[in-house]
């Protein structure tokens, strides 16, 4: 019988009814103490990926009702949330952490407008959230003299590759190739 090594998993999702951020899924024995957070994994995955404009909020109940949208609305890059949660769980500060933050790709959207000449608001908000987290994390580690303990790997994508609704076979193959090249090009950095 396999041993459960992971007891907590940080998955961010935004609760639309009460406008709060739900950020943690408890696994194993801890889940028994937090019945409201003991949701089926399928519900958690649908909630954390329910991107506004693409998918409706995901509704489900545990001991209370949830109406959740994509965690990227509030924390597109959840590194800061993960560090805070780890500090709480481990009862230590960030000086003992070595962090590898993996992005999912970002398009250079400067000057890009929608077909109707409007600004791509969702993209702007998610990019701003991501960049603020990256700036904060890199500066905190840099100013603490621990820049070697924080690595962020993010690839720049073409606009067509980064579109959340582009699930064409060609785009998926292109993204897979980009990911493989990214891993190969960062092999030395990952070995550190």
**In terms of pLDDT, which residue wins out, 73 or 23?**
73
Q: Which residues contact 103 (CB under 8 A, 6 or more apart)?
A: 77, 130, 152, 153, 154, 155
pTM (whole model) above 0.85: no
**Domain ranges (residues) in the chain:** 9-73, 97-191
Q: Which residues contact 170 (CB under 8 A, 6 or more apart)?
A: none
Alpha-carbon separation of residue 47 from 13, 37, 62, 79 (angstroms)? 6, 13, 14, 19
What backbone torsions phi and psi does residue 87 show, to the nearest 5 degrees? -60, -40
Q: What is the pLDDT of residues 86-120, one digit of tens each?
A: 888 788 888 888 898 988 888 876 666 666 776 66
CB 106 within 8 A of CB 154: yes
């Amino acid at each position: 019988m396999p041993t459960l090594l992971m007891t907590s998993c940080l998955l961010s999702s935004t609760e639309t009814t009460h406008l709060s951020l739900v950020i943690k899924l408890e696994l194993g024995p801890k889940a028994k103490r937090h019945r409201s957070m003991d949701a089926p994994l399928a519900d958690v995955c649908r909630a954390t990926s329910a991107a506004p404009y693409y998918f409706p909020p995901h509704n489900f109940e545990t001991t209370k009702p949830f109406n959740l949208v994509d965690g990227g609305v509030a924390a597109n890059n959840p590194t800061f949330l993960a560090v805070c949660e780890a500090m709480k769980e481990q009862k230590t500060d960030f000086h003992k952490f070595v962090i590898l933050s993996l992005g999912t790709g970002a398009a250079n959207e400067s000057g890009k407008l929608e077909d109707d000449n409007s600004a791509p608001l969702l993209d702007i908000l998610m990019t701003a959230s991501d960049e603020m987290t990256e700036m904060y994390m890199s500066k905190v580690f840099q100013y603490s003299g621990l820049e070697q303990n924080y690595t962020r790997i993010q690839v720049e994508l073409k606009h067509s590759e980064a579109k959340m609704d582009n699930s064409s076979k060609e785009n998926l193959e292109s993204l897979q190739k980009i990911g493989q090249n990214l891993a190969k090009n960062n092999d030395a950095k990952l070995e550190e």
